[in-house]
């Protein structure tokens, strides 16, 4: 993996089970797409629920890049930690990742 993808993988490794979103940028030439891995955690009556999956969201930027990754960045699809690591590897093959 390239440096940016390795940094993103380390962030996922460390922070996957936290409430924090993990934000990053995909680049291809001059095109950029701002993205995040969003936690599925929520709180109900003061108790933490879920938190074992994340979804990949494209926030804003290049439609061209989005069209290449939209099969991964579906709003209804949640990933386990292992699945997300595979997503990062797939992104690393086609894009420069800045985390």
Helices then strands (H, E): number in the chain?
Answer: 3, 7
Inform me whether the pLDDT recorded for 37 exceeds 90: yes
What is the rounded average pLDDT for all residues in the chain? 94
Q: Please classify residue 26 by burial: count the beta carbons closer than 10 Å to its beta carbon, then call 0-12 exposed, 13-18 middle and 19+ buried.
A: buried
Is-above-0.75 flag for pTM?
Answer: yes
Alpha-carbon span 53 to 8, nearest angstrom:
16
Domain spans of the chain, in order of start: 3-98
List pLDDT tens digits, range 2-18. Answer: 999 999 999 999 999 99
């Amino acid at each position: 993996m390239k440096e940016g993808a390795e940094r993103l993988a380390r962030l996922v490794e460390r922070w996957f089970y936290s409430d924090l979103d993990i934000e990053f940028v995909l680049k291809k030439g001059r095109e950029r797409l701002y993205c995040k891995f969003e936690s599925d955690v929520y709180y109900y009556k003061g108790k933490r629920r879920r938190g074992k999956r994340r979804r990949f969201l494209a926030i804003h930027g290049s439609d061209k890049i989005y069209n290449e990754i939209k099969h991964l960045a579906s709003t209804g699809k949640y990933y386990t930690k292992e699945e997300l690591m595979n997503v990062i590897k797939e992104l690393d093959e086609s894009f420069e990742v800045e985390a």
